[in-house]
Amino acid sequence: MTEKQTATEKIIADVMANPSPAKSMGDPGITPLSPTHTQQNETEQVQPEPSFVVVVAIDFGTTSSGYAYAFTKEPECIHTMRRWEGGDPGVSNQKTPTTILLTPDRKFHSFGYAARDFYHDLDPSESKQWLYLEKFKMKLHTTANLSIDTDLHAANGKRVKALDIFAYALAFFKEQALKELSDQTGGDFDNNDVRWVITVPAIWKMPAKQFMREAAYKSGLVSRENPEQLIIALEPEAASIYCRKLRLHQMVDLGTQTTQNGFSPTENVGSGMTQAKENVRRNRQSRTFLVENVIGELWSELEEGDRYVVVDCGGGTVDLTVHQIRLPEGHLKELYKASGGPYGSIGIDYEFEKLLCKIFGQDFIDQFKIKRPAAWVDLMIAFESRKRAAAPDRTNPLNINLPFSFIDYYKKFRGHSVEHALRKSNVDFVKWSSQGMLRMSPDAMNSLFKPTIDHIIQHLTELFDKPEVSDIKFLFLVGGFAESPLLQQAVQDMLQGRSRIIIPHDVGLTILKGAVLFGLDPSVIKVRRSPLTYGVGVLNRFVEGKHPPEKLLVKDGTRWCTDVFDTFIAADQSVALGEMVKRSYTPAKPSQQVIVIHIYCSERESVGFISESGIRKCGTLRLDVSGTESTAPRREIQTLMQFGDTEIRAMAVDVSTGRTVKASIDFLSH
């Protein structure tokens, strides 16, 4: 026996003793049908859209949420929801805070202003039993291995299932919207006539997007049997769709020196927004926005191939997408995959909390939040309205009311007064005013904004350095945080006239209205970038010298290389809407009764084997071929994956019998 043979036998013995991952994962094994196995980009026709009477979009935000709708017969009329009871002074209440309250036995009690006000009025001893949650959406972005069982913490420290909370919130919006639609149409409005759209940040990873869909199923918004009734829309894409419709009187152009709406942008960055807010306030009574069925004047300046950036500045995340215009219909093509990060306006709240910890001590703040949760909420509401008054040219201080129970509890906790703490703290730009307020200098307030704004500017700078992002005609600033004059000024300083900065008047509702338009015509975005690389695990004939010896598997005398990653689509590849990628495989063993195809994904662009690090299994196609004889010499199994939508679909077909199986790609199981 030659030395070489013994080495091979040793490898085979090792493989038998330590089966490869493919074998141990129970893959019966499929192999590409032909050695020249290539991708066929057969773009199949997408099925005709189901018909709905109305589209309702839910903007589920980190800090505030709302819904808007349009009847398919009058697509140019977008109705925003009824005004909420209990709005805050100094804060527009077109949306309601994303806050939720559960009773002590964990039943849904209320949402939004109602939840906040009820919680606030509870006796402190009683409020400890109730579960109050706010700003919880960020958990979906920050949890590394998000699953159906991920927990959230209520204000009193108790844990609740995140899925329950999201489902309660969606059920609340469903009830509100259906009630309003019933009142409008004068009869019970049927949920089956509604197409629902939920917006999510484009930078969210697949598990978070799927989590939203799972919550929608749990809430009864839509059923698993009819998944097409719900569209997951990407926030900056929705904004982009709305911005196409903007007329000149509906926006502020920070980049031009011309007068619009009777003010000159050079006067002051913030004054344009003040004027714009006034217009919005006047229109607010009607709640119906007419979106003219034209392309806005700004858009008509764009030519084939022109690029623009949408920067969606929300409460939790800042999301950037680069789009290119395609004429004649003005369809949109995503040029660069969505980027951004957790740089939303709640970063400023965290900085304020850090400042309070510096003055009063971390131990006290932690204790106060648990013992007086309602008073803590009060303090943050007071901060919120002052935060909105921050501006680059402000000279007078900002006063923040400290709740009485804060002052009182601090004295009990430390044995001295709040005033004493401020004197001792060496934080010289925060003073105590005799009316019981924290008095912050404008510089102090601006310094709370700085870390968050610096992150955004750094990200924009890096984005503008990318070759595919050169020569940007417009930068649309949208989302609630875009109203901040400090942020507007920083973006202007960074761009230095390289592109025009456009801010829609109703900047906080841009995404909501765009999501309604997207629900009416989801095909408006024609090309997207794939955020991940997708493929399946296959067996290939083992090639000596090319394949690693530890991947050798011998089956019925045939030598296979296991765990080969067969790529369907690579990360950052352009994909057209509804694009199908088709592949043909054959069972490695002709007698197989069940064919199992595992789908894998990775953030890396090139992947060799499914056993590499950072590869995760995200779906399984299980095709039963028992009891059916195939006349063909080799059984052909076709695998199809559909891309280009905000979610991915997969199916497998047994060509000889026509038997099909569909798989939903699952990113939540570990």
How open is the CA angle 607-609-610, to the nearest 5 degrees?
Answer: 100
Q: What is the DSSP string of 71-107?
A: ETTSTTEEEEPPPPSSPPTTS--SSEESEEEE-TTS-
Residue 267 pLDDT > 50, yes or no?
no
- Predicted confidence band at 624 (pLDDT cuts at 50, 70, 90)? confident
Percentage with pLDDT > 90 across the chain = 41
Q: Which residue has the tokens 């801010």?
A: 503
pLDDT for residue 569 is more than 70: yes
CATH code, domain carrying 631: 2.60.34
Strand order in the sheet with 558-569: 552-555, 558-569, 533-541, 594-602, 616-624
Asked if residue 211 lies in contact with residue 146, where contact means CB atoms within 8 angstroms, the answer is yes
pLDDT of residue 617: 87
For residue 610, is it within any domain?
A: yes
Determine, yes or no, domain membership for 389: yes
Which whole number is the average pLDDT over 406-435?
A: 89
**In this structure, are 427 and 538 located in the same domain?**
no
The angle at the Cα of 153, spanning 374 to 414, to the nearest 5 degrees, equals 50
Determine the pLDDT at residue 220: 97
In a domain, 377, yes or no: yes
Helix, strand, coil share (%) of the chain residues, nearest 5: 35, 30, 35
Question: Does 20 reside within a domain?
Answer: no
- Tens digits of per-residue pLDDT, 546-567? 889 888 888 778 888 989 999 9
Instruction: Give the angle 23-26-32 at the CA atoms, nearest 5°.
Output: 70
Question: Are the beta carbons of 425 and 358 closer than 8 angstroms?
Answer: yes
Question: Among residues 644, 435, 555, which one has the least CA distance to residue 15?
Answer: 555
pLDDT category at 27 given cuts 50, 70, 90 is low
Q: Does pLDDT of 418 surpass 80?
A: yes
419, 447, 475: which is the final residue of a domain?
A: 447
pLDDT value of position 294 = 56
Answer with the one of 186, 218, 235 that is the final residue of a domain. 235
**Per-residue model confidence as pLDDT tens digits over 133-171:** 999 999 988 888 889 999 999 988 899 999 999 999 999
Does residue 240 have a pLDDT over 60? yes
As a whole number of angstroms, the distance between CA 266 and CA 459 comes to 26
pLDDT for 277-286, tens place per residue?
555 454 444 5
- 345-393: per-residue pLDDT in tens? 999 999 999 999 999 999 999 999 888 888 898 899 899 889 988 999 9
443 and 537 share one domain: no
Nearest one of 447, 452, 484, 448 to 351, comparing CA atoms: 448
- Residue 612 in any domain: the answer is yes
Asked if residue 59 and residue 170 are part of one domain, the reply reads yes
Residues 575 and 427 in one domain: no
Q: Residue 427: pLDDT above 70?
A: yes
Q: Is 599 part of any domain?
A: yes
How many independent structural domains does the chain possess? 3
Q: Which region among 193-197, 307-311, 414-418, 583-587 has the lowest average model confidence (pLDDT)?
A: 583-587
Distance, in Å, from the CA atom of 464 to the CA atom of 495, rounded to the nearest integer, reads 9
Regarding whether 638 and 538 lie in a shared domain, the answer is: yes
How many residues are given for the chain? 670
Residues 474-516: pLDDT tens digits?
Answer: 899 999 899 999 999 999 999 988 889 999 888 888 999 999 9
Q: Is the pLDDT of residue 597 over 90?
A: no
Q: What is residue 338's predicted lDDT score, i.e. its pLDDT?
A: 85
Residues 6+ apart with CB under 8 A from 526: 326, 331, 332, 333, 576, 577
Answer yes or no: is 251 within a domain.
Answer: no
| Cα(584)–Cα(37) distance, integer angstroms | 8
Q: Are residues 352 and 210 in the same domain?
A: no
DSSP 536-551: EEEEEE--TTTS-GGG
In the listed set 170, 203, 235, which residue is the last one of a domain according to the structure? 235
For the ranges 95-109, 234-248, 589-603, the maximum mean pLDDT occurs at 95-109
SS3 321: strand
Residues 440 and 541 in one domain: no
Residues facing 583 on adjacent strands: 639
Residue 130 has pLDDT above 70, yes or no: yes
Q: Which residues are CB-neighbours of 27 under 8 A, at least 6 positions away?
A: 537, 596, 598
Query: Is 80 exceeded by the pLDDT of residue 39?
Result: no
Please give the residue that has the higher pLDDT: either 488 or 265: 488
One domain, residues 213 and 80: yes
How crowded is residue 41: how many other Cβ atoms within 10 Å of its Cβ? 12
**Pair 130, 230 in one domain:** yes
pLDDT at 373: 83
Type of residue numbered 157 = G
Q: Is the pLDDT of residue 44 over 60?
A: no
Determine the pLDDT at residue 441. Answer: 92
Same-domain check for residues 419 and 554? no
Question: In the predicted model, is pLDDT for residue 200 greater than 50?
Answer: yes
- pLDDT value of position 112: 93
Query: What confidence category does residue 643 fall into, taking pLDDT thresholds of 50, 70 and 90?
Result: confident
Under DSSP, is residue 415 helix (H, G, I), strand (E, B) or coil? coil
Contact 579, 644 (CB under 8 A): yes
Q: Which residue has the higher pLDDT, 143 or 8?
A: 143
Q: What are the pLDDT digits (tens) for 288-339?
A: 666 665 566 777 777 888 889 999 999 999 999 898 887 666 778 888 888 8
Show the domain range for 644: 532-664
Q: What is the CA radius of gyration of the chain?
A: 28
Find the mean pLDDT for residues 253-260: 55
Quote the distance between the C-alpha of residue 221 and its chain's center: 19
* Residue closest to 99 by CA, chosen among 88, 252, 56: 88
Q: What is the mean pLDDT of the chain?
A: 83
pLDDT of 659 reads: 85
Q: Which of 77-86, 161-170, 219-228 has the highest mean pLDDT?
A: 161-170
Fill in the amino acid letter for 393: D
Q: Are residues 440 and 562 in the same domain?
A: no
CATH number at 61 reads 3.30.420.40
Q: What pLDDT sits at residue 222? A: 96
Task: Measure Cα distances from 553 to 536, 546, 564, 594, 603 in Å.
Answer: 18, 15, 12, 20, 28
Cβ neighbours for 280, distance < 8 A, ≥ 6 positions apart: 92, 505, 506
Residues 435 and 561 in one domain: no
